[in-house]
């Protein structure tokens, strides 16, 4: 479940999505899943490029399919393009699957997935 909002516009929305099937990657890569929340009031589609790999027509506020990228990187760049305008943000990777979220201020956040409920 995701909560989207814009205090300046008085807009709030809850979104429910299924947990992605966490894919396996090669021993030196890790899957990431992209979420574009840069403009929560509009239903637009974005192209996202990371490490030369592109996801086209990703709906805003929707979790992408997996992109396998190098693990344990201090700085990686994600480029989000909509209507010819690109927004770029930096993030780092770990050795576990994670979600990379673009916020309305062009910042990226990486969040690790809970892959198991067992201790």
**pLDDT value for 40:** 66
Question: Which has more pLDDT, 6 or 105?
Answer: 105
* Predicted pLDDT at 102: 83
39 to 23, 54, 108: CA distances (angstroms): 28, 20, 14
Interval 11-70: pLDDT, tens? 777 777 777 777 677 789 999 989 888 776 676 788 999 989 999 999 888 889 889 999
**Residue 90 reports pLDDT greater than 70:** yes
Encoded tokens for 31 = 């899957």
Q: Which long-range contacts (CB under 8 A, 24 or more apart) does 51-57 make?
A: 51/76
Place 107 in a pLDDT band, splitting at 50, 70 and 90: confident
Please say whether the beta carbons of 36 and 102 come within 8 A.
yes
Architecture of domain 2-112: Sandwich (2.60)
In this structure, the dihedral spanned by the alpha carbons of residues 25, 79, 91 and 106, taken in order and rounded to 10 degrees, is -150
Q: What pLDDT does residue 118 have?
A: 44
């Amino acid at each position: 479940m995701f909560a989207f909002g814009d205090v300046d516009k008085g807009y709030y929305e809850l979104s429910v999505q299924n947990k992605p099937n966490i894919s396996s990657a090669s021993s030196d890569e890790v899957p990431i899943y992209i979420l574009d929340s840069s403009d929560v009031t509009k239903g637009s589609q974005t192209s996202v490029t990371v490490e030369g790999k592109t996801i086209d027509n990703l709906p805003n506020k929707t979790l992408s399919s997996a992109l396998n990228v190098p693990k344990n990187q201090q700085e990686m760049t994600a480029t989000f393009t909509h209507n010819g305008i690109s927004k770029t943000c930096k993030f780092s990777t770990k050795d576990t699957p994670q979600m990379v979220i673009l916020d309305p201020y062009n910042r990226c956040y990486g969040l690790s997935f809970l892959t198991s409920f067992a201790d």
